[in-house]
Amino acid sequence: MDRSLPPLAWPLGLGGLVPFAALALGSALGWAALRFPLAAYGATILAFLGAVHWGFALRADASEKAAEPGRLVLGVVPSLIAFVALLLPLSAGLALLALGIAATAVVETLVAREGLVPRSYLRLRWVLSAGAVACLTVGALSG
């Protein structure tokens, strides 16, 4: 799978970091009330990252059939992690969200070696994941 990203992927992806950055900055400046919205946004994004893999599974050709179960599992596990994170105390939940986003990027890197994730997507994902993980970590440490 070697497809280039649509032209809007980078600007929209980077735009998705704006809420992370604003909420993390506010949390770091002492506005504790922003920590839950940061967790909620992080959970939403982590669930979205899983959904990408359902999309890959649904659009896969017959040569990728063997990867289907793993893709579907990877599609569900991030949303379950996000749900659990929202049930935890905020610092722990934010830390779990950061770990979940990082772990998803690591798994995607591993499956990219099999050609199951486009390299162009992987580059974008690591940039966005680094930003999200940094912001979630700031929020976790601001408590």
Residue 3 has pLDDT above 90, yes or no: no
Residue 60 has pLDDT above 80, yes or no: no
Q: With contact defined as beta carbons under 8 Å apart, do 128 and 13 qualify?
A: yes
Task: Tell me whether residue 104 is in a domain.
Answer: yes
**How confident is the model over 63-72, as pLDDT tens digits?**
778 888 888 8
Task: Tell me whether residue 90 is in a domain.
Answer: yes
Residue 2 has pLDDT above 50, yes or no: no
Region of poorest pLDDT, from 2-16, 79-93, 118-132? 2-16
Region of poorest pLDDT, from 60-64, 69-73, 109-113, 123-127? 60-64
Instruction: State the pLDDT at residue 135.
Output: 98
Mean pLDDT of all residues in the chain? 92
How many CB atoms are located within 10 Å of the residue 65 CB?
10
Q: With contact defined as beta carbons under 8 Å apart, do 3 and 120 qualify?
A: yes
Task: Tell me whether residue 34 is in a domain.
Answer: no
Task: Tell me whether residue 8 is in a domain.
Answer: no
What is the per-residue DSSP string for the chain?
Answer: ---PPPTTHHHHHHHTHHHHHHHHHHHHTT-GGGHHHHHHHHHHHHHHHHHHHHHHHHH--GGGGGGHHHHHHHHHHHHHHHHHHHHS-HHHHHHHHHHHHHHHHHHHHHHHTTT-S-HHHHHHHHHHHHHHHHHHHHHHHT-
Residue 100 has pLDDT above 60, yes or no: yes
Mean pLDDT value across residues 2-30? 93
Residue 59 has pLDDT above 50, yes or no: yes
Mean pLDDT value across residues 105-110? 93
Domain count of the fold of the chain: 1
Task: Tell me whether residue 35 is in a domain.
Answer: no
Determine the structural domain holding residue 121 and report its residue range. 41-60+73-143
